[in-house]
Every structure is written in structure tokens, then in C-alpha cells.
């Protein structure tokens, strides 16, 4: 998922992406070197087929390594959440709960008219052959 980040005290916002997310922290892929202990402002864009939510948090780098061989490759950075609003934590927890439910629930073959009647007309349908 996409993220925006900046060093605490900096005005320059940079793009990055997540690898893993949890209630305690994130695996980030960032385009520049970070130091362990460094604090970052982070905006995470959580999305589903139905909506996109933004979460802002202050995070701290707890580990780092290099992912790739070229100068422009991303650096892997593990961060822990240092500060997050209760509202944004609720958004994060709800998003993670939704992911767990989707993985645990087998795919259902629900007719499109029924989905539309239930208010889920924007769900993507799985393509089928022939």
C-alpha cells in the first residue's frame, strides 16, 4: 500500500510503500537510507474496493536493510508506532480485521443483482473464462 513519509522536522514529503502492517508497526519500502532510532511522520493509505482511508502516525525506525542492487532500489525499514490518534488506531484495527475476515471467508458466488440490492454494487467481480 502507498505511504507518504518525512523526517520529523523536515518539510519534504516522500513516497514509499508498505510490505506488512500490524497494530504495532509496519514494514516499509523507502527510497532513501534511514537510521535506527530515527522518527518519521507517516501517512498510510488503507484501501478496499469500497473506500480509501488515510492514517497518520509518528513511527520510529527499529531495523533496516537494503532491498535491491541498484542505487534507486528501495530500502526495507521496520518501524514501530510511537504516536497515533485513537481515531486512526480504530481505522487501522478495522482495516486489519477486514483483511482477516476476507482471508478466512471463502469466496462466495453471489448474484450481482443481490450485491447491488445490498449496496455492494462497486465490488469487483472475478473474471471467468468462457
- If you write DSSP's letter for every residue of 34-65 in order, what string do you get? --TT-EEEEEEEEE-SS-EEEEEEEEEEEEEE
- Is 42 a residue whose pLDDT tops 70? yes
Task: Given CATH 2.40.10.220, say whether it is the number of domain 2-115.
Answer: yes
Residue of higher predicted confidence among 89 and 119: 89
pLDDT over 90 percentage in the chain: 45
* Residue pLDDT, tens place only, 50-96: 677 899 999 999 999 876 556 567 889 999 999 999 999 999 988 88
Cα distance between residue 98 and residue 104, in whole Å: 10
Cα distance between residue 127 and residue 46, in whole Å: 24
Pair 40, 96: CB distance under 8 Å: no
Amino acid at each position: 500500500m502507498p505511504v507518504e513519509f518525512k523526517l520529523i522536522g523536515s518539510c519534504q514529503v516522500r513516497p514509499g510503500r508498505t510490505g506488512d502492517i500490524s497494530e504495532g508497526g509496519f514494514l516499509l519500502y523507502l527510497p532513501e537510507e534511514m537510521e535506527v532510532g530515527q522518527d518519521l511522520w507517516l501517512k498510510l493509505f488503507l484501501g478496499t474496493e469500497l473506500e480509501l482511508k488515510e492514517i497518520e502516525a509518528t513511527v520510529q525506525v527499529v531495523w533496516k536493510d537494503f532491498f535491491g542492487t541498484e542505487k534507486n532500489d528501495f530500502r526495507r525499514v521496520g518501524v514501530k508506532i510511537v504516536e497515533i490518534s485513537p481515531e486512526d488506531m480504530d481505522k487501522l484495527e478495522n482495516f486489519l480485521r477486514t483483511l482477516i475476515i476476507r482471508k478466512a471467508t471463502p469466496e462466495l458466488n453471489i448474484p450481482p443483482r443481490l450485491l447491488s440490492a445490498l449496496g455492494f454494487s462497486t465490488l469487483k467481480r472475478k473474471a471467468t473464462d468462457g
